[in-house]
């Protein structure tokens, strides 16, 4: 018997979709991804992007406070034992994700720790192949495979992730470590300007590091950067090394010139990457309509339908604009409701 709904992914959108689908008695099966070295390097292990961060200050419902007993009570003992210690300052990314996963399981969601590598969406039932070669059938599928932030790939950058290196200004910019301090933003497109502009609310100075002598951003956005007295653009420069130490985290960056100038060291307490994201859609190429950037297309306005009958998309995999946990959760809810109504209309 085909499953009613299979959910692929394990971020906020997948677990929210699972909670809604389970409570609607669709008995969802979630493929949460695989624990592999490749996924570790790419930042695509089960539990998604939020599990890569420490404090989550902007997800509603978790003001600062001590959640220790709540976590002890609500999460399976075995799982709880392997979680990092609670910092008593609100919720961390891994804690929030474990709570969502647990909530989905409490309503009967079944979870398989493997990834889907192939799909056949040409007709009913839909077919999914996992990396162990097993094939699953379902009437509806929710794709919630998210995206990953692009990094420079420097060893020093990796060392200071969560210690001053971030790929999300909206998520981390307001943290105390960045307030009234100089920061650097890497990139030259519209989103780099947006990140720099946002960070300038908190930082003393924001240095935009750009490899060329002109921003890639649209004219209006480039002007916004030039007009902001707190933003200084360092042209023709690339990061050679992130500087720092174990106690302070990031303390600066060493920049190489792309035009034969001398190296330059800039003092900064944070480095924000704004060089794009890669959606996790490689296995869906040719199966679902995508934007040229690889993000999935929603085919109906304000609905989560994709180009294949019975296949819905939620979270960052279909959103290159908001990219927040709460928006991913919101579209996860939408996808479950869309799938439920679609199944009912088809009598499946
Ligand atoms: C470092 C960092 C800090 C952030 N901080 C915040 C914050 O403070 N607040 C906030 O609101 N947002 C934050 N964000 C953004 C937020 O994490 C994302 O918007 C959100 O996680 C997107 O959720 P998602 O459900 O789309 O999936 P994702 O979180 O992207 O997770 C998808 C997961 O699905 C799994 N998957 C992928 N492909 C497959 C497959 N083929 N088969 C099975 N499983 C698969 C993988 O495990 C993947 O990680 C942060 C992001 C990063 C990178």
User: Which tens digit of pLDDT belongs to each residue from 13-40?
Assistant: 999 999 999 999 999 999 999 999 899 8
Q: Is the CB of 13 under 6 A from ligand 1?
A: yes
Q: Give this prediction's pTM.
A: 0.91
Write out pLDDT tens, residues 161-195. Answer: 989 999 999 889 999 999 999 999 999 999 899 99
Q: Is the CB of 121 under 6 A from ligand 1?
A: no
Q: What is the DSSP string of 143-156?
A: E---EEE-----HH
pLDDT value of residue 53: 86
| 136 within 8 A of 130, measured Cβ to Cβ | yes
List 171, 197, 316, 319, catalytic entry: 171
Q: What number does the ligand 1 atom closest to the CA of 161 have? A: 1
Q: Is the CB of 280 under 6 A from ligand 1?
A: yes
| 144 within 8 A of 330, measured Cβ to Cβ | no
Question: Residue 337: which residues within 8 A CB-CB, separation 6 or more?
Answer: 20
CA of 319 relative to ligand 1 center, distance in Å: 12
pLDDT tops 90 at residue 43: no
pLDDT value of residue 117: 98
pLDDT value of residue 170: 87
Question: Which of 147, 171, 320 for a ligand 1 pocket mutation test, highest count of atoms within 8 Å of Cβ?
Answer: 171
pLDDT value of residue 58: 93
Q: What number does the ligand 1 atom closest to the CA of 332 have? A: 25
| 45 within 8 A of 129, measured Cβ to Cβ | no
Of 89 and 346, the structure prediction assigns the larger pLDDT to 346
Q: What gap in Å lies between CA 68 and CA 83, rounded to an integer?
A: 12
**CA 21 centroid distance within chain:** 22
Dihedral angle of Cα 282, 287, 293, 297, to the nearest 10 degrees: -130
Q: What gap in Å lies between CA 131 and CA 147, rounded to an integer?
A: 19
110-115: long-range pairs with CB below 8 Å, 24+? 110/27, 110/28, 110/29, 110/30, 111/29, 111/30, 111/32, 112/29, 112/30, 112/31, 112/32, 113/32, 113/33, 113/34, 113/35, 113/46, 114/31, 114/33, 114/34, 115/8, 115/31, 115/33, 115/34, 115/39
E strand spans, 192-307: 206-209, 231-234, 237-245, 249-257, 264-267, 270-273, 277-279
Q: Record the tokens describing residue 107, joined without a space.
A: 């309503």
pLDDT value of residue 92: 94
List 114, 120, 168, 320, catalytic entry: 168
Q: What is the mean pLDDT of the chain?
A: 96
Question: Which of 7, 8, 50, 91 for a ligand 1 pocket mutation test, highest count of atoms within 8 Å of Cβ?
Answer: 50
Write out pLDDT tens, residues 310-333. Answer: 999 999 999 999 999 999 999 999
Q: What is the DSSP string of 282-345?
A: GGGTTTS-B-TTSPBPPSSTTS-B-SSTTEEE-GGGG-SS---HHHHHHHHHHHHHHHHHHHHH
Average pLDDT in the 65-87 region? 94
Q: Is the CB of 8 under 6 A from ligand 1?
A: yes
Q: Is 13 exposed, middle or buried (0-12, 13-18, 19+ CB in 10 A)?
A: buried
Q: What number does the ligand 1 atom closest to the CA of 59 have? A: 11
* 168 tagged catalytic: yes
Q: Is the CB of 168 under 6 A from ligand 1?
A: yes
pLDDT value of residue 89: 87
């Amino acid at each position: 018997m085909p499953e009613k709904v299979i959910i692929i992914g394990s971020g906020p959108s997948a677990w929210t979709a699972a909670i809604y689908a389970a409570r609607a008695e669709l008995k969802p099966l979630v493929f949460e991804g695989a624990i592999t070295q490749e996924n570790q390097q790419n930042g695509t292990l089960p539990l998604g992007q939020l599990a890569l961060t420490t404090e989550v200050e902007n997800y509603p419902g978790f003001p600062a406070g001590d959640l220790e007993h709540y976590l002890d009570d609500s999460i399976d003992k075995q799982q709880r034992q392997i979680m990092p210690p609670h910092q008593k300052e609100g919720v961390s990314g891994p804690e929030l994700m474990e709570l969502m996963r647990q909530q989905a399981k409490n309503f009967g969601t079944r979870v398989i720790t493997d990834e889907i590598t192939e799909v056949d969406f040409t007709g009913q039932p839909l077919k999914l192949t996992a990396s162990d070669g097993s094939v699953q059938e379902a009437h509806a599928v929710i794709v919630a495979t998210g995206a990953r932030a692009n990094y420079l790939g420097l060893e020093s950058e990796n060392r200071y992730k969560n210690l001053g290196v971030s790929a999300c200004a909206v998520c981390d910019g307001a943290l105390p470590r960045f307030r009234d301090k100089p920061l650097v933003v890497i990139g030259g497109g519209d989103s780099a300007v947006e990140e720099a502009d946002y960070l300038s609310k908190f930082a003393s100075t924001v240095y935009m590091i750009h490899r060329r002598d002109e921003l890639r951003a649209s004219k209006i956005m480039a002007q916004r950067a030039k007009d902001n007295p707190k933003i200084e653009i360092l042209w023709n420069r690339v990061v050679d090394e992130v500087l720092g130490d174990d106690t302070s985290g990031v303390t600066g960056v060493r920049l190489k010139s792309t035009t034969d100038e001398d190296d330059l060291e800039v003092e900064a307490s944070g480095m924000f990457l704004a060089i794009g994201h890669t959606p996790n859609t490689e296995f869906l190429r040719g199966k679902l309509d995508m934007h040229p950037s690889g993000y999935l297309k929603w085919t109906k306005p304000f609905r989560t339908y994709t180009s294949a009958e019975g296949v819905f998309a939620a979270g960052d995999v279909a959103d290159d604009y908001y990219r927040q946990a709460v928006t991913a959760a919101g579209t996860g809810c939408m996808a479950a409701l869309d799938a439920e109504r679609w199944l009912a209309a088809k009598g499946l």
